[in-house]
Chain A
Amino acid sequence: MKILVCISHVPDTTSKINFTEDKTTFDTNGVQFVINPNDEFGLTRAMWFKEKQGAHITVVNVGGPETEPTLRKALAIGADEAIRINTVATDGFSVAKQLAEVVTNGAYNLIIAGRESIDYNGGMVPGILAGLTSSNFVNNCMGLEIDGHSATVIREIDGGKETVSTSLPLVIGGQKGLVEESDLRIPNMRGIMMARKKPLNVVEPVASETKTSSLSFEKPAPKGAVTLVSPDNLDELINLLHNEAKVI
């Protein structure tokens, strides 16, 4: 099995989100970048396939040279090779277009991406990629088994889950549940040493157009102070929620 794991390079969950002076770009100053959490679950599941069923794992990112440490980390966790498509990721459509090129050229039959990136929260790259490559697609994937060319996927739905049968080639939008939190791997020294020798191929982008353009960013208005209610006066809380906030 040839697995492609799409890796989005995102600010660590504790990052303060700031923008440049003109509010047009995310300010990366002092921000630590990590593998998108949804992709980390996917990569760990890919490692399970590699170890239990035999698979070759390629990780891919569409981004500039600054994303290479994130790809190296994925190699240290155990991926076999990495590809960086050397262009600035702008909109979801153009990222999917670049990834589609890699999928087609490399004849990957299982493409593991994340349900969404925690930075722009687009939630669209895997679906568009599936559409562009005519692959099957299951989103919100919280369980995945592969048997030959058949796949069984557990998909989270609003209020529950469902079991879906499908076949390769398959793109999934993965999330927590693909593996447990406790299964996530922290690269060890040996992994880090080996990662240095693994191939990280930089390829140039294919021509593509963007369907959307980001114009500017805003931060939410600062919040007013909390209104404290004494635990001995819960009638007051009900009164406030009913008459002031009008939510009950």
Chain B
Amino acid sequence: MSVLVYTESEQGAFKKAAFEVASYAKAVANQLGTSVTAVAINTEDTSTLGHYGVDKILNINNDALQGFNAKIYASVLAQAAQNEEAKVIIVSSSANSKYVAPLLAASLQAGYASNVVKTPSNVSPFTVKRSAFTNKAFENIQINTEVKIVGVSNNAFGIVENPSNATSENFTPSIPESSTKVESVDKAVGKVTIADAEIVVSGGRGLKGPENWGMIEELADVLGAATACSKPVSDLGWRPHGEHVGQTGKPVASNLYIAIGISGAIQHLAGVNASKVKVVINTDPEAPFFKAADYGVVGDAFQVVPELIEKLKAFKAQ
């Protein structure tokens, strides 16, 4: 009755979130006095999981699982859970995990808590803290079912090294039919995504127009960051919708969030507040973002950002 964790990969390599959920699973397993079993689908080298406390790896290699299909993946995870008699299943907060988890919950009749920010405060009854009201509050909830699913919020727990002797075995689940098929994927290659990013550089209407985003992208490049924007910026078509962050856009829970020319409206802040450190660059000292930020520069982005890029380059070169 181990803790089962779904360790996601992309093109054969684990995603960063996989190591975070593995670390979290290890902490839960310690609380329960049990071991961690990871499910790895079409991953080339699974041995790295041994750095994060995984005891056993169920290796699944199957061409039918190339490309993510939520229904099929939910069935595979359910079979793995049954095989291991797992009572707790851990997933991440990636778009794919949030897609698969409710289907898994329905098939296992399991209680599911999403956006969980901490290890359980109690394992019997099983109680976790999750963020709610778009980060304006936390909710303590109890999962009452025998099988429990926990979705861990990005960057909430972090990656914790915990060397273990992970054994690996092949697992061959049956693959159900699905009439849902991915026809094409449109994804920028080599770009850090907002979901995975440790640092996010975000621009608002204060940047005046799409032609001024060169410096935002350059700043992001120097920092290895993802780029984001406020809602009006995407509504105006200056930036793609996928970059819109906030209450009605993507949530951001990075280690560092840099807001440039963003006023800090309540709907914007709600979506980015879970970031650990926030920096604001704005000409208006009265901009509400200064109340939510850790560090602030009252200044013109068109002067501050290029200078910051130069100084960061010098700093990185040291």
- Give chain A's interface residues, CB within 8 Å of chain B: 11, 13-14, 17, 19, 26, 37-38, 91-93, 96, 118-128, 130-132, 136-140, 142, 152, 156-167, 173, 176-177, 180-182, 210-220, 223-224, 226-231, 234-235, 237-238, 240-242, 245, 247-248
Contacts and interface: CB of A to CB of B under 8 A. Distances in A.
Contact of A228 (B99, B137, B188, B298): B298
B32 interface: no
Closest 6 CB pairs of A and B: A131-B106, A127-B102, A160-B187, A231-B299, A211-B111, A159-B193
A119 B132 contact: yes
Interface stretch (B21-29, B42-50, B270-278): B270-278
Contact of A165 (B70, B183, B270): B183
B interface, over-half SS: mixed
Given A13-B270, A219-B137, A238-B315, A37 B248 contact: yes
A211 B112 contact: yes
B37 interface: no
Interface string B232-262: 0001000001101001110000011000000
Given A161-B242, A215-B141, A234-B307, A119 B133 contact: yes
Contacts of B109: 211
B111 A93 contact: yes
B7 interface: no
Given A241-B277, A245-B277, A226 B290 contact: yes
11 contacts: A17-B133, A93-B112, A156-B242, A162-B185, A180-B235, A218-B137, A220-B137, A220-B138, A234-B297, A234-B304, A238-B311
Nearest to A224: B294
B139 A140 contact: no
Given A130-B102, A162-B187, A214-B140, 11 more contacts: A17-B133, A127-B101, A131-B102, A138-B180, A212-B142, A215-B140, A218-B138, A226-B290, A229-B297, A234-B297, A234-B307
B184 A247 contact: no
Given A241-B256, A245-B256, A139 B98 contact: yes
Interface string B99-134: 101110111011111110000000000010101111
B242 A118 contact: no
Contacts of A136: 71, 179-180
A37 to B, nearest CB: 5
Contact of A121 (B112, B131, B182, B194): B131
Contacts of A210: 144
B207 interface: no
Contact of A248 (B105, B235, B256): B256
A214 B304 CA distance: 46
Contacts of B185: 157, 160-163
A137 B103 contact: yes
B111 A212 contact: yes
Contacts of B102: 92, 123-128, 130-131
Given A124-B105, A156-B242, A247 B70 contact: no
Contacts of A228: 290, 295-298
B152 interface: no
A136 B129 CA distance: 31
Given A176-B244, A211-B111, A234 B180 contact: no
Contacts of B308: 234, 237-238
Contacts of A120: 132-133, 139
B186 interface: yes
